[in-house]
Amino acid sequence: MSHAALPVAEARGGGRHRVYFSGRDAKGRARIGWGEVDLARPASWTVGGQPSINLGRLGGFDDNGVTSSCLVTHGGRQFQYYTGWSLGSTVPFYLHAGLAVSDDGGRSFNRLSDAPLLDRSAVDPFLTASPWVIVDNDVWRMWYVSATEWRIARGRPEHRYHIRYAESRDGIAWDRRGVVCIDFKSDDEYAIARPCVVRDGAFYRMWFSHRGDRYRIGYAESSDGVVWRRLDEQAGIDVSLQGWDAEMIEYACVFDSGGRRLMLYNGNDYGRTGIGLAEWRG
């Protein structure tokens, strides 16, 4: 196995956290696994033996990979939102948001359905991916990736996707109206990926990945979670001068623990070099 991409943190008590992530097999197909770590001793990892979410059924929307995105604990259940991958013909791949649910504290997750949670539609005609969900005053709120088009660039199909918004009453049936939260800064920017939203009182903060040449972590603020002001210079993190995250940084997961605001993120080559931990110093 290689890679440890798209980390998702879950507090387990006593300063320990379970971190879900996406690892790849020899064919490049991702499965969702997990490890547990004491944040006081970040090198003290214990890795689970079996995937939490494995490849989907042959012919399904997630038969060629599943990648982690978000975990919501609500009503005694755990909702793991993820991205399913299948191979394409005219384009390299298709992506769809999926959902698996645990009723045993995360020991096992079962797909809600063999079909996508967010299928292609008139609102999202090309792909859906990377859902980030919070429950906000009984309203389930989602920020997710949606493609605007595929275009031929440098002789091959290239996706263009940004971040949109949806709402739900149960976390399962979603009202999508094409509301764009984070859009492209320029025509050179073609991928805005993996949102992570934190609510601070009546204020919302979002970290996301954006790329032209290489991924960087961006940042935005909102008073209502729908209309956002993009402030990438305030993301609080950039590539290192050398080492495992000197070429690119991406896939931030921001969370609070023990009075500290922390970020898990990936570096070079989309998680091949592992997961980093950073602390907010505001």
Tens-binned pLDDT, residue by residue, of the chain (282 aa) = 799 999 999 999 888 999 999 999 999 999 999 999 988 887 778 888 789 999 999 999 999 999 999 999 999 999 999 999 999 999 999 999 999 999 999 999 999 999 999 999 999 999 999 999 999 999 999 999 999 999 999 899 999 999 999 999 999 999 999 999 999 999 999 999 999 999 999 899 999 999 988 999 999 999 999 999 999 999 999 999 999 999 999 999 999 998 999 999 999 999 999 999 999 986
Q: What is the CA radius of gyration of the chain?
A: 18
Top-level class of domain 59-279? mainly beta
pLDDT recorded at residue 47: 83
Residues 140 and 123: their CA atoms lie apart, in Å, by 19
Residue whose C-alpha is closest to residue 8's, from 255, 273, 256:
255
Is this structure's pTM higher than 0.85?
yes
Q: Could you tell me the residue ranges of all domains in the chain?
A: 59-279
